[in-house]
Amino acid sequence: MNTDKKPITLLFNPFVYIAGGKALALGLLTILVASLLGSLSTTHFDGVLDTHTGRAAPLWFFLVEGVIAWLCLSLVLLILGRIISQTSFRSIDLLGTQALARWPTIFSALVCLPPAVRRFSNQLLEQIKRGGEFHINVADAAVFAVVLLAIIVFTCWMVALMYKSFSISCNVKGGKAIGTFIAGLLIAEILSLFCIWSLAKHALASSST
């Protein structure tokens, strides 16, 4: 077995080397760091694949959003993995590697730190609400465009990691694994949006009263 730690493997398939409890500890740390950075830049990871900026909220809310997004996908893939995998596997491997697969969210939260990103998104939202002619700050728009592109790249990277986590943890490969993963991703996305929406509706409404 080739055990050379190739940089490309570490970037796109670190789960060849790390899984189980160690991956879970690092993954939970990832969610915590991404939530802390997210609270500084008001960047919400409010769904399995979602990244939105703008709405202020307490720190715990950012943390719970990250945990919900992680748990929804992990639990859906755990059920689907048990159905399609022909071998037995440990739940902690899937839970741990799925948490660690979210580590590109740290970079997404980091690139959202410049104030120009929030300024532009808030301006854009206000102008859409108000209607009429659009007045755009070109410098802010340029920063926003670059950040948007970076977030898309980080999200694609995260999805690739999530698939690798599913494939290695459940020992599933090929078309069946890809199809099941896409179905799981869609189910988990809807589930996470519903959970976070319900949480925001109750928790944030009660904290504002």
- Please pick, from the candidates 83, 87, 132, 208, the single residue that binds another protein as defined by CB under 8 A: 87
93 makes contact with another protein (CB under 8 A): yes
Residue 166 as a binder of another protein (CB under 8 A): the answer is no
CB atoms < 10 A from the CB of 158, how many?
21
**How many residues touch another protein (CB under 8 A)?**
16
Among 11, 26, 106, 168, binds another protein (CB under 8 A): 168
- With beta carbons less than 8 A apart as the criterion, state whether 181 and 48 touch: no
Q: How far is the CB of 26 from another protein (least distance, A)?
A: 12
Minimum CB separation of residue 182 from another protein in Å reads 21
- Binding residues for another protein, per CB under 8 A? 1, 3, 15-20, 23, 87, 89-90, 93, 168-169, 171
